[in-house]
Every structure is written in C-alpha cells, then in structure tokens.
Amino acid sequence: MTDPNIPVTEDELHAYVDNELPAERRGDVEAWLTAHPDDAARVRSWRTMAEALRARYDSVADEAVPRRLEIEQLVQQPRKWVYGAIAAALAAFIVGGGVGWLARGASAAPSAIQSFTTEALDAHRLYVVEVRHPVEVPGSERAHLQKWLSKRCGWVVRAPELTAVGLKLVGGRLLPGPAGPASFMMYESASGERITIYTAKSDAEATQMRYQEQGKENSLFWADDGVAYAVVSSGIDRERLTPIAQAVYDQLEKSGG
C-alpha cells in the first residue's frame, strides 16, 4: 500500500492517463483528482487529445520505425515515439492557421518556425496555469536565473525589465527545446495576466517578427543569430501584445542576446 497523503506528481498524472500507473497508486491518484479540480481538468484534456490521436493515427503507430532512426531507445519504445511525433506534427499543423505578419525581413524556414512555435505554445499552456510551481527560479533571483540559463543554453539569456509595460518577472525555468535546451520566463501584470518568453536554438535564417493567433493564445516571435524568441500570451490581443514584444526585442538587441 502507498501513502495516500503523498502529493501526486506530474509524471503520475501522465502515467494515469496512459494506463501505466501502478495499481496500488491508482486509487490515491483518483482521490487526488477529486480534491484538485484543476488537475482533473488537465487530465481530461490530455485524455481527450490522446484518444483523438489514437483514433486517427493508430495505423501509423504500428508502422516500423525508419531504419535511420533505429536507435536502441527508440526501438524499445516505438509507439511512444510515434505518438510524440504525431502530436508535435498535429500541433504544428494547427499552428499554421490564423497567422499574420509584422514585416521585419525575409521569412524563415516553415518547418523550423512550426517546430519552435509549437514548443513555445505548449510550454506557455502548461505552466501559465500553475499557481504554486510556475517556475524553477523566482524572479527575485534574476541575476542567478540569467547566469544559470545562459550557461545551460549556450547563449546569453536575459530577463528583460518590463515594468514600463506593466509586467513583473515571476521567474523562469530550463526546458527541452526543438534543438537542445530552451529558456522559459514568465511575467505577470497587476491584474494577474501572464505572458511568457520562450527562447531556443533555431534554423531560422533572418531576423523577423511574426504574429500568430491560436485559440486563446497570441504570440509574436522572431529569430536572430541562430536563436529564436517567442512572446506568448493568453487573452491579450495583438494591439496590447505588440509593445510588450517590442520592449523585449529592444532590450535583447541592446544587450546583444
């Protein structure tokens, strides 16, 4: 028997959705979900997406892994790899709709942009709803956050000062990106609105700023010197988001990264 008072982890919630949770822990997780409606809502959304993917792509999941990808880890877990790839591809396809432009130079490779924006939007949706643990390093440790992320990511990471546009730094965290580590920072307004800044390596070839709208999420993103940046919000329209993204862009340009 396990201790029902042990908090349920993110990994356990995913295992519950995937039916991979140990039987002795299942009852504890279900009790937790009954007492934590936010987590229950997340589990329902994950399950709905998983069911939709399986219904549409089960036949693809049963196909053999391409020879060039026959790495031991992938061969041991082919179905998980395929579903992950399908989810990323589906999200990238959805991302393609409702895109507007702010002209700042030539366009980047669509595949690079799709991969990057998918990661940025997914990270925003996952962490912006967190109340107790939205970040790893709090905004009160700005200097440490910048130094740590810069060291881990391999480029100079800055946490812009955005008080002039009504935002305070909540903090940041290190995330896996489409081509290596990614930095993630969260800001919050006095009314509780949150925006995030996601930064990762990118194959985009030119500096640009591009607007995208998907559901409740709006974003402005650009790339410079092999690094891409996305400023993402939920419920903040383009008119309000643009000066925020411009402030981020200006400060990063002045600091050299």
Segment 110-124, tens digit of pLDDT: 566 777 888 898 899
Do 58 and 160 have their domain in common?
no
Do 132 and 247 sit in the same domain of this protein? yes
Confidence check: pLDDT of 103 > 60? no
- Length of the chain, please? 257
Question: Which pLDDT score is estimated for 208?
Answer: 64
- Choosing from 65, 88, 111, the residue where a domain stops is 88
Question: Are residues 62 and 141 located together in one domain of the fold?
Answer: no
Q: What is the pLDDT of residue 135?
A: 92
Q: Is the pLDDT of residue 79 over 70?
A: no
Confidence of residue 253 (pLDDT cuts 50, 70, 90): confident
The arithmetic mean of pLDDT across residues 128-140, rounded, is 89
- pLDDT at position 243 is 92
pLDDT band for position 204 (cuts 50, 70, 90)? low
**Residue range 48-69: mean pLDDT, rounded:** 54
* 26 three-class SS: helix
Task: From 176, 185, 189, 195, select the one nearest 138 (Cα to Cα).
Answer: 185
Query: Could you report the per-residue pLDDT of 5-37, keeping only the tens digit for each?
Result: 667 887 788 788 878 888 888 898 899 899 888
- Do residue 62 and residue 35 come from a single domain? yes
Alpha helix locations (H) across 62-179? Answer: 72-76, 78-95, 110-128, 142-153
Question: In this structure, are 237 and 136 located in the same domain?
Answer: yes
84 and 115, same domain (yes or no): no
Domain range for residue 108? 100-255
133 with 65, same domain: the answer is no
Pick from 88, 121, 149: which residue ends a domain? Answer: 88
* Band of residue 53 on the pLDDT scale cut at 50, 70, 90: low
Instruction: Name every residue whose Cβ is closer than 8 Å to that of residue 66 and which is 6 or more positions away in sequence.
Output: none
More confident call, 158 vs 3 = 158
* Residue 175 near residue 185 (C-beta atoms within 8 A): no
Tell me the C-alpha distance between 182 and 204, whole Å.
15
Q: Is residue 128 part of a domain?
A: yes
Per the structure, the count of domains in the chain is 2
- Ranges assigned E (strand) in the chain: 99-102, 137-138, 168-177, 180-188, 194-201, 209-214, 217-224, 227-234
pTM over 0.95: no
In a domain, 2, yes or no: no
Q: Is the pLDDT of residue 156 over 80?
A: yes
* Residue 133 belongs to some domain of the structure: yes
Q: What is the mean pLDDT of residues 152-168?
A: 93
Residue 142 has pLDDT above 50, yes or no: yes
Between these two residues, 42 and 70, which has the higher pLDDT value?
42
What is the pLDDT of the chain when averaged over all its residues?
76
pLDDT at 205: 58
Domain identity same for 163 and 234: yes
Q: Report the distance separating Cα 101 and Cα 180, nearest Å.
A: 27
